[in-house]
Amino acid sequence: MANKIKCLVCDLDNTIWQGTLLEGDELHLRPGVAEVLAELDRRGILLSIASRNDPSDAQRELQRLGIWHYFLLPQINWGNKSESLAAIAKGLNLALDSFAFIDDQPYERAEVTHTHPQVLCLDADSFATLPEQPEFNPEFVTSESAQRRQLYQLDLQRQGAEEDFSGPREDFLRSLNMEFTIHPANREDLQRAFELTVRTHQLNTTGKTYSYEELEAICQSPNYLLLMAELSDRFGPYGKIGLALVELCPEYWHIRLLLMSCRVVGRGVGTILLHRLLEAAFRKGLPVRADFKENGRNAMMLTTYRFAKFRTIQRDDDGMTIMEAQPYGLPPTPDYVRLRGGFAEENYG
């Protein structure tokens, strides 16, 4: 299966437009570019720029052409394109193996490939056909997909506000007026649940993906609980940013998958879903087991389980670790977050 692209980084001269800005050419969008940008944006694929040009001149031309608004963290400078891609990846908190780079110059593509071999590098001549390529075709376009650029723009505003804030970090978090909602997944949530399992790698306990049909069957089964988490603050919504898939065994609950979007890293909400799930099981006097499988990026989730007093009870040959937490007193939801919803835990198990 093709690795799905989360961000396309574009060159400008003879890639986005025909002509060279510094040479004073009359610039026109290459055929099909406007339509491709609009379609990729609709699919939730982020767009950015890596170009050697004067930033103010390039921005003016992009605004004139009516496409400036599509691009997040554009890197228009005189540095190497590989450095620009690294800066974009860091700013968006995305792994480079989810990036594609398109440029008309073989040298530029080779420089990026040498430094970041995990990046998919493409010739500018392929621009018009990008929507047909499997790497740019998510299985579903959810409401979060169609709003992804706007959600990331809100995240960048939050980052700017945090940088400008003077005072303790908890005071900044309190100033966000965050609301965290937990609810059982319904049919309308399933496409987003599927999308989260295939897109989320860092804050993911197993890396296991589930098809839409599997998630639909899980939702209809009395033996499973699929919880969704949403977050919003004074800047706006983050969307559906997490899920927990729990098998409701008679003698314990078993977390088969727990994940959170990397966009909420640093918001102090990463343990809320886990703690409230543990609380529901502990009220019934049940221990909770959890699966964990290392994927090279998810060490933070193992730490989360360790801090929640999970202890290893089994290791399988395929690398899966099974952990268990016995009932104990749990910390409350942080006072800088309002908890909404719930999932009527008395109806389960």
Nearest Cα residue to 134 out of 207, 35, 43: 43
pLDDT digits (tens, 9 = 90+) for 264-285: 887 888 899 999 999 999 999 9
Q: Write out the H or E segment, with its range, that includes residue 101.
A: strand 99-103
Distance CA 167, CA 317 (A): 49
Number of domains in the chain: 2
Please compute the mean of the pLDDT values over residues 331-347 and round it to a whole number. Answer: 77
Distance CA 299, CA 322 (A): 15
Residue 10 is predicted with a pLDDT of 98
Structural domain includes residue 232 = yes
Domain that holds residue 308: 177-347
Distance CA 178, CA 185 (A): 21
Residue 342 is predicted with a pLDDT of 64
Residue 192 is predicted with a pLDDT of 93
Residue 73 is predicted with a pLDDT of 97
Structural domain includes residue 163 = no
Residue 126 has pLDDT above 50, yes or no: yes
Q: Are residues 189 and 337 in the same domain?
A: yes
Please report, to the nearest 10 degrees, the dihedral formed by the alpha carbons of residues 92, 93, 94, 96 taken in order.
Answer: 90
Please compute the mean of the pLDDT values over residues 20-25 and round it to a whole number. Answer: 93
Instruction: Please report which confidence band the pLDDT of residue 187 belongs to, taking 50, 70 and 90 as the band edges.
Output: confident
Nearest Cα residue to 316 out of 290, 287, 293, 289: 293
Percent of all residues in the chain with a pLDDT value above 70, rounded to a whole number: 97
Structural domain includes residue 170 = no
Residue 232 has pLDDT above 90, yes or no: yes
Residue 98 has pLDDT above 90, yes or no: yes
Tell me which of 136, 169, 194 is where a domain ends. Answer: 136
Q: Are residues 203 and 335 in the same domain?
A: yes
Structural domain includes residue 34 = yes
Please report, to the nearest 10 degrees, the dihedral formed by the alpha carbons of residues 309, 315, 320, 325 taken in order.
Answer: -20
Residue 346 is predicted with a pLDDT of 44
Q: What are phi and psi of 314, to 5 degrees?
A: -165, 145
pTM of the model: 0.87
Q: What angle do CA 312, 316, 322 make, to 5 degrees?
A: 30
Q: Are residues 296 and 221 in the same domain?
A: yes
Residue 343 is predicted with a pLDDT of 58
Please compute the mean of the pLDDT values over residues 121-146 and round it to a whole number. Answer: 94
The length of the chain in residues reads: 349
Residue 345 is predicted with a pLDDT of 46
